[in-house]
A and B are shown apart, each in its own frame.
Chain A
């Protein structure tokens, strides 16, 4: 856990210190896209290599759909309830 926080914090410090000069020359868009695509590719390779996963591929897919639906629904439900609880006629700031 600490090594992830260390990388996050180091990135924050480097971004903060170099904001005036490095950010003008360097955009993170391209490297970020490359890293995201690399990660997606690697997770695809890991899935392809895992033969136990292949036999449960579709049942796990159905469970993932339920996970996505329940996280979205619970988030929306709480957001609407807390919005009403805050007693504003309209919740937008």
Chain B
């Protein structure tokens, strides 16, 4: 339902933007509006994590080694994978790496790249990360059954703390709730700084 809403809102926004000569008065400074919304989004994420730091740290300590390997896999794999794709299409490698560093968080990566690089980069950042979420939702059940449900959490990136968590619980196991949530929460905290850092290189 959420995914459908996202698609509908995106298309409606696209139509309004396309006919912006008529509605240009309302959307003349789109970058400023995007930037303010990003600030609000990042503040709320900090607020949510700040409200339960002890619970998070206790949970983290319980599964530290396996969990650290999972985090390393997701961060390295996402950035290396996007660099390979960028190399294949002869794209700017810092922008390519920044797309991967979104870890599936399309509502951040798209606007951030639109604001900082270009609408084209923002479109790719949005779509690549949106598709990552869709791929996790559709392929996790199959991949977790054929291989290892814990390692397969890696494919979801930052989305494993919310949108893809129910899929992981349903098709993996209830024991995976903790590492999947933490995996997503830490990547969500890291993504904005990492994208900015990569783009500054």
Cβ contact within 8 Å between B82 and A43: no
Cα of A19 to Cα of B81 in the assembled complex, Å: 38
Cβ contact within 8 Å between A49 and B17: yes
With both beta carbons as reference points, the residue of chain A lying nearest to B78 in the complex is identified as A71
Interface extent on A, as a size class? 35 or more
Size of interface on B: residues with Cβ below 8 Å to A: 101
Contact of A68 among B14, B63, B129 (CB under 8 A): B129
Cβ contact within 8 Å between A15 and B46: yes
Cα of A77 to Cα of B80 in the assembled complex, Å: 11
Selected A-B contacts with CB under 8 Å, 13 pairs: A4-B39, A37-B5, A39-B110, A43-B34, A43-B123, A44-B12, A46-B122, A67-B99, A72-B136, A75-B74, A80-B151, A83-B148, A85-B69
Contact of B44 among A31, A56, A80 (CB under 8 A): A31
**Interfacial chain A residues near B89, Cβ < 8 Å:** 63, 66
Cβ contact within 8 Å between A39 and B111: yes
Take A16-B51, A83-B69, A92-B175 as given contacts and tell me if A10 and B43 are in contact as well, using a CB distance cutoff of 8 Å: yes
Contact of B149 among A8, A12, A92 (CB under 8 A): A92
* Nearest 5 Cβ contacts at the A-B interface: A44-B13, A48-B17, A11-B46, A15-B50, A74-B81
**Interfacial chain B residues near A45, Cβ < 8 Å:** 13-14, 16-17, 20, 27, 30
Take A11-B43, A35-B44, A48-B17 as given contacts and tell me if A16 and B149 are in contact as well, using a CB distance cutoff of 8 Å: no
